Structure formats: structure tokens, C-alpha cells
Amino acid sequence: MNRKKSGVVVSVVLFFVLACSTGAMAQANAPIKIGFMGNLSAAFSLSAKGAAQMAVDEMNSAGGIAGRPLELIVEDTKGEIPKAVELYKKLVMTDKVTAVVIGEKVEMAVAGMEIGAELFKEFPHIMFSTIGSGDVIWHHVRDNYEKYKFGFQTYYSVSTNYLNIWGPLNAQVFKELAGAKNVALVYEDMEWTKPLRKGLKDVSPPLKEVYAQNGLKVVYETTLSTDQKMFTSVFEEIAAMEADVIDATVGYIDEGALIKQWEQSSARDLPLYIWGGLAGMPPAWKVTEGKCLGVLVGSSMIRVPITEKTIPFMDNLVGKYKVGPIFGSHTTYDTLYGFKKAAENAGGVDNIEGLIKSLENVEEVAVLGTIGWNAKLHYNLPYPKYVTPIVQWQKEGDQGAMKVIFPAEYANAKYMSPAELRK
């Protein structure tokens, strides 16, 4: 080989080495793409989108993940499943996101999970469902881990937790705070209440029996239709059955009408505990014209510093991102921080299998406690890790305020009976 030829070979080799190292550097600095899908006409998705953007902005200001910035790609499903499937494909195949966050009802997450499973081999990625309630997501993981291991659920509504954790805790609250012995159970006729009504095989008996095991007698039990507007007869019967507390396992029915009619019934002096929904949101006071005074509700929208993140999260979301914290915004925000820590522990996001293992073991400070996921089932770690306080609507001047009455370590008020509060 003469000198001229060998010079050419060296130049070509140098060119390729340089090109490859530049590419690797570009890859090392390329943004980590996160897809967000939601129904951007719905308040809960808009709030979740704001929370996701806030998390991404904060992380970028702090140097990103392992030196790489984050890029949030937002898509509007318009609440339509075919659209959601199409957008999921686009995010994973075209945009090549590392993770898809589905900030919408569980049906969308299920659709995403199915298409995600088909794409996973060729396009490895993570899917988070941050609003969808129920057991479908983690049941997929439980029943076929290899196929659905990329799916994680960050929401409180998991029946196992309801029956094993919240049932006994509710019984404790009813007995210790409200002095109750007899409870009236009111469910809404939806899929998520079915395990509570019927029990979960090999996991727990129905809620009625959980209460019985914890020293409460269920004296009345009924199920309400989601389109029902008249509840007077239910409350009159509850009062006639001499219940001490009303446990309303509802979140989607017309809670405005429910609360108004409770307040104008014979059962108005019985504490009404509502599991979630409108009653746990700040507008409930206005919507019910203050008739929610005394109502107990599980709510994440309280200004009590559960961690150092709680108050800044609420203030910044409203102040900078112009959306109110609604159910699902906390979980979306916390999910991304959990993802960040897992990615850092895994040494980046390039090895998705490693990232999945890291997500299964991660724990990070969250707005409402600690975020992390069950290693085998992929639902987020329940109470006492992730906290949904029980609040009571009490008066603050002329207005109503949600006061935390449980857990005791976060309480900023004492429980008072509805009759006492109305005095």
C-alpha cells in the first residue's frame, strides 16, 4: 500500500469514527421524548396536561434526566378510542417517545395498552395510565406479565386497596370520629364498585363484610343509577333504618343533587361520607350553596403539606399553568418524577427492560406522599405511601373549606357532626 492509499484509508476511518462519535454525542444529548394523551376538552385531562408540562419544565430547569432534556409531545384524543389508538401509534412509532402518559379514562389506557403490547418488541417503551381507575390495567400485568410489563397505573382506584386498606380505615374513622355503630352503604352502579359490592375472589369479601369484621353493622345497602336525580327516598329510608353514618361509594353520579337532597332529608344529621368526585373539589361549596357543610370526602385537593411538594405543586399549577388541581393531576406529576428517578437509577432510558425493573423498585417523594409501583402488579403504592386524606367540609368565615380530619398526622381540624357545624 503506498502512502497516498494509506492516507485515504486513514481519512475514511477517521471520518467514520468522528461521525459515529458525533452521532453518539447527539444521541446522548437528544431530548427524552414523553408523549401525553388526553381528552383536551375535559377538565381532568387539561389539568393532567398542565401537571405533566410543569414536571417536564421543572426537570429541564434542573438539568433534565442524566443530562438529557425532556420534551413533552401532547396529543388530543377527543375522548375517542380509535383516535387514541392512532395517536398512540404515532407517538411510539413516529415520535419514538420513551414513555406515553395517558391522562384519561381507563378505556383509553386499555386501548393504549393493547396497541402498545403489539408495538413493544419493535418499539420498546413505557405506558403510564394516570387517571384511569379500576383494576383492568394491573389485571393485564398480573395475567400476562411478559406481554404487558410496560404498563404502569398511577391512580388510587384499585379495588384490592379499597377492600384491604380503605375499608378498615373507613371503619376506624366512622367508629372513632363519628362514634358510629351502624352504617348505611350506598353504591353507584358502575364497574369500579362491583368488587366492593360483590367482593374479590381470593382477595377480600365485599365491603359489607369488611365493615362487619371491623365492628360496624351494615343496616342498609342500595345501589344508585348513574343517571338518577332523585335520592330523597334513599335518605328517608336510611334515616328510618337508624344508621349512624352514610357511606356513599360514589364518584360519578350527580353528587350536587345527592348532597342537596341529603341536606334536605331526615338523614341530614347523619355524617355523609363520599368516596370521591365533585364533593372533594373546591367548587362543591358553591355548587351546593353550602349544603355540603359536614360532608366527609376523600380528597387530594387540600392545602396541607403532606410533603414539601404539596403546596408548591398546587400554587404553581394554578399560578403558572392556569389549571386547577383535579383528580389525576397529582398522579400525572408524581408519575413523571417517579419515571425520572427510575431512569436515573437505571442509568438512562435506552434500556427499556432495565427501566421497567427500575420502575418496579423506585420510590420518590411525591405531592401526596411517596410514588412508586407494586413490583409485580404495577399499580402505585397505596396508603400509607400515597395518601388521599379524608376531609370534611367546614366553615371558614362565610365560605366553606375542606379540612383534613384523617390521617391524624396531617389533620388540620377535628371532626364535627353536621348538626354541630350547622349551629
Partner 1 sequence: MLAYKLQSVLVYAFVWGSIYLLISLGFSLICGVLRIFHLGYGVTFVLAAYGTWALMHELHLGLWPAIGLMFVMQIAFALLVFYKGIFQRYLEQEEILLTLSMLVFLAVTHLANYSYPVTAGVSIPTTIIDGTFKIGKVRLSYQMLFAALTGIGVTLVFVWMFLKTRVGLIIRAMSQDIQASRLMGADVSKMYFLAMALSVIPPTICVLMIAPFWSVDPLMGAPLLTTAMLVSILGGLGNLKGSIVASYLIGFIHASISFFYVSRFMGFAALVITLLVMIFKRGGLYPGETIW
> Interface with partner 1 by CB under 8 A: which residues?
43, 189, 222-225, 227-234, 236-237, 239-240, 254-257, 260-261, 264-266, 268, 278, 281-289, 324, 326
- 286, burial (CB in 10 Å: exposed 0-12, middle 13-18, buried 19+): exposed
DSSP-assigned states of every residue in 137-198: HHHHHHH-HHHHTTEEE--S--HHHIIIIIHHHHHHHHHHTT--SEEEEEEESSGGGHHHHH
Nearer to partner 1, 83 or 260 (CB): 260
Nearer to partner 1, 86 or 189 (CB): 189
Instruction: State the cell numbers at 97.
Output: 417517545
Minimum Å gap between C-beta 253 and partner 1 is 10
Minimum Å gap between C-beta 402 and partner 1 is 14
Which of these, 122, 52, 71, lies nearest to 313 by C-alpha position? Answer: 52
Minimum Å gap between C-beta 123 and partner 1 is 36
**Segment (H or E) for 33:** strand 32-38
Nearer to partner 1, 232 or 307 (CB): 232
Nearer to partner 1, 232 or 345 (CB): 232
Cβ distance 267 to 236 under 8 Å?
A: yes
Minimum Å gap between C-beta 291 and partner 1 is 8
Question: Which residues, other chains included, contact 126 with Cβ-Cβ below 8 Å and sequence gap of 6+?
Answer: 98, 99, 100, 150, 152, 339, 352, 355, 356, 359
Minimum Å gap between C-beta 367 and partner 1 is 19
Minimum Å gap between C-beta 280 and partner 1 is 12
Nearer to partner 1, 288 or 370 (CB): 288
Instruction: State the cell numbers at 25.
Output: 454525542
Residues forming a β-bridge with 99: 34, 126
Q: What share of the chain is helix, strand, coil (3-state, %, to 5)?
A: 45, 20, 35
Nearer to partner 1, 317 or 359 (CB): 317
- 5, burial (CB in 10 Å: exposed 0-12, middle 13-18, buried 19+): exposed
Minimum Å gap between C-beta 261 and partner 1 is 5
Separation in Å, CA 421 to CA 200, 245, 297, 394, 415: 38, 16, 16, 7, 10
Which of these, 75, 55, 98, 67, lies nearest to 330 by C-alpha position? Answer: 55
Q: What is the Cα–Cα distance from 351 to 355, expressed in whole angstroms?
A: 6
Which of these, 155, 162, 151, 239, lies nearest to 195 by C-alpha position? Answer: 162
Nearer to partner 1, 301 or 342 (CB): 301
Cβ distance 349 to 65 under 8 Å?
A: yes
3-class DSSP state for residue 391?
strand
Nearer to partner 1, 32 or 131 (CB): 131
Nearer to partner 1, 98 or 265 (CB): 265
Which of these, 366, 360, 364, lies nearest to 332 by C-alpha position? Answer: 366
Minimum Å gap between C-beta 64 and partner 1 is 33
Minimum Å gap between C-beta 233 and partner 1 is 4
Minimum Å gap between C-beta 79 and partner 1 is 13
Nearer to partner 1, 139 or 268 (CB): 268
Nearer to partner 1, 56 or 239 (CB): 239
* Half-sphere exposure (Cβ direction) of 31: Cα atoms closer than 13 Å: 15
Minimum Å gap between C-beta 231 and partner 1 is 7
